Structure 1
Amino acid sequence: MMHNNKCIFCHFPAQESGKGCQRPQLDNGFVDPEQNMYQDGMTLTYACDKGLKTPMEGWWGMITCENGRWSDTPRCTAKGLMKEGMLVRSCDAPPQVNHATVVQQYHNNFSNGSKVVYKCKRSYIMEGKADVVCLLGEWTSAPTCSEDRIFDRCGEKPTVDNGDFISDSDRNRMALTFTCINYYKLVGPEQVMCYNDQRWSELPICKVTDSWQRPFVADVQCQNGQVAIGRCACMYDELHTTQRNRLYST
């Protein structure tokens, strides 16, 4: 620059760029891109391992290098809620129990202290407590459901002529509920119990109903040394009549 025929030199210091940042320390997670130094103003993305989250409540977070310092400290913590300054961990889906169902509505996430109750399917009995509890991100021990073998106490299941039964059992008893086939009615106790002393309770019987009648028409003929029964009508009630042609050898 010229001033009064004199040359004046002015020196302007170059603008300094901000300091870079070293790779941040992150436990239970990883950063992207992975390098030892990051330029000032560069944004770094990081993610957490399965079951953990960032302070942003998601599985990934972002921090920026600001003149040698990161805008935030990357952290991976357990999923849960903060209560009185302490992290209260939640639980994922409850453990699966074979031959059992959960008796309440299903959730994707269970808060600390949540309880889940199981029920064994028919013909299975439960061993252990029926419920599990979420404690600090972990479920307590789950029960098991094993096949009910209580009827072994009484041996082979009893039968009733012209009847059938369904089984209904729990931890302490075995019950058989009987029904009769068509045109028979149940007389006696509907349920039969297997007692701890290895005996069955009183059995019912199935008696034919009054609406059943024997065949009342038969056209019997002797043909070539054989007895032919033609148009044999069998009435079981007022609405059901069957007719068959039968041939019997003598």
Structure 2
Amino acid sequence: MVFAFRLDPSLHSDEMDRLGCLLFVLLFSSLEVADGQGSKCSKPSLKNGYFVPEKDTYQHSSDITYACEKDYERRGEGWWGTSKCVNGTWSPEPVCKDKSDCFAPDVPNAKFRKLGTEKYLIECEAGYEIDNTTTSTILTCKDGEWSTGSCIKSATSCGAPAFVSDAVIIHKYQDIFGDKQAVEYKCMDSYTLEGSIISVCEEGEWSPPPKCQFLKPTAAPRPVQPTPAADDRTDDAGRTKQPRTQPLEFCGTAPDLTNGLVSKLDESTLLIRCSIYYTREGPEHVFCLGNGKWSHQPNCLEPCMIAGTNPPKGVAPFTGIQYIEEGNRKLFYCHKRWPWGGFKYQHYYLDVGCYQGKLRFTECVKG
């Protein structure tokens, strides 16, 4: 399909530019993005600008095209911009600002603290520091431009922690780790950990990681004679026997497991898996028994949580959130006051455990 337009030559230049921009976006307003599975977006609030298509709500993955009024501008080049609905949020947010104002500052590997109108304090992320040769710690806006800001890799930062065979690292992914940041190692099933469970970044080097040794199988203990139960898994004399089972549909709706996942293992058996950091208490398998009832069902015990920005008394602040599974323990740096003032926690640790959903602490000791 071809469209032809004739512009009135009596229009002023500014009016023709705006009309041309509007005609362009109208050409594409009928193109709809396929309906996605994410959350919908509300109509954006665009001061000093206009957008198409204009609706009350937009499907996930939908696009809008927008332009700004005279004497206002958007981020980027050109007359028009696009923004996409991503899980209920417009990305990037459509904004039209005065040409003498600044957009929010954008400095890689940094976060900002607002000090006043168009003035921000730079705070570099862990593993980075202010480049003092080119950057001030305070950014200011003048004539629509920000003063120079840059965060560079610190000389005391570390790269990726050491790989340990048959182990996983309990920490969110990072390219760079700051001085004194630590990661925890956890061995796979059937392996035991030798050494410290944590490795610490110290002056650009990681402290030695642990090793995971395979556990040799031992002789199985003699079975204990169970007492009779009402779940159809013992005979009249109390002797164990294979559960008399039947297809799952005979027991009706599958058990509802809070903080876990129930899946079908075979025609009469369900497999139980708890969510990450939650600990299973009870059997891994649930059966549909001959009496039409489900066998004994497990629970998923909630972990303990420590927030790095507001840790318990005695625990040094850290980045992010740490979870401790029920019945397990983790080491944390101490927040220890020294006689000559200040706080120091290098090489001093607290052993923190999670028992019945509550934290338990040891004394601060040198590692």
Q: TM-score, normalised on structure 1?
A: 0.33
Bigger RCO of structures 1 and 2 (CA < 8 A, at least 6 apart): 1
What TM-score does the superposition give when structure 2 sets the normalisation length? Answer: 0.25
| Structure number, greater radius of gyration | 1
